[in-house]
Amino acid sequence: IAKAVYNLIFHKFDGSSFLADVRDVSEKNGLVHLQEKLLCDVLMKKELKISSKHRGIKEIKDRLGCRRILVVLDDVNQFDQLNALAGKRDWFGLGSRIIITTRDKHLLENFEEYEKYKAKEMDHDESLQLFSWHAFGQDHPIKDYVEDSNAMVRYTGGLPLALEVMGSFLLDKRTKSEWRSTLEKLQKIPNHRIQEKLKISYDELDRIQQT
């Protein structure tokens, strides 16, 4: 849902950044890597090096404080991630929008200045739109792939993570035979990229249950 919203409105801002899988990326590459990506995206730079997390916070405040930007922090699971990337709304220029997605509603309790919204389950049309952004780079399937796209959406059950992975997987597959072959295989054997990505959620649930 957040990706679909981002794709619809990012052009209305002076700069934008979609930081996907914050939990996973921060664990593998660290928060400084995410700070660098945020700044590179908004400032449209190929590379920008930051020496530490605290230096990164200062760079974000100094460089983005006067810019009206759109930032999406997707799948946040720790307070430290928010504090390093968007600790205060006044870090960014007037009219900026910061969208945060998380499975832990308690995570935002210390961020009272942010409005909270509980997402509803995606219906078929919303699921198809999200899938299309990843598979075709637009909010709807191309003409000859409407039926196959609907089949893919039904296969994933409208699960956003699955829609994202499947759409990206099919991005460079441009023959109907490839699509149908993929769907036939998926119906027999679960796609391991989907399973790997969904495992993040299951791991988090297991951790909570064990505490």
Rounded to 5 degrees, what angle do the CA atoms 194, 101, 115 make?
160
| pLDDT confidence tier of residue 178, bands split at 50, 70 and 90 | confident
What DSSP string runs through 83-123? HHHHS-GGGS-TT-EEEE--S-GGGGTT-TTS---PPPPP-
Q: What is the pTM of this model?
A: 0.62
**Cα dihedral 75, 77, 78, 79 sign:** positive
pLDDT in tens, 58-74: 999 999 999 999 999 99
Q: Which of 19, 6, 20 is nearest to 197 (CA)?
A: 20
Least confident of 59-63, 104-108, 142-146, 194-198: 194-198
State the Cα–Cα distance between residues 155 and 123, nearest whole angstrom.
Answer: 14
Dihedral angle of Cα 77, 115, 129, 181, to the nearest 10 degrees: 10
Q: What contacts 174, CB < 8 A, 6 or more positions away?
A: none
pLDDT in tens, 117-158: 666 667 899 899 999 999 999 999 998 899 989 988 887 777
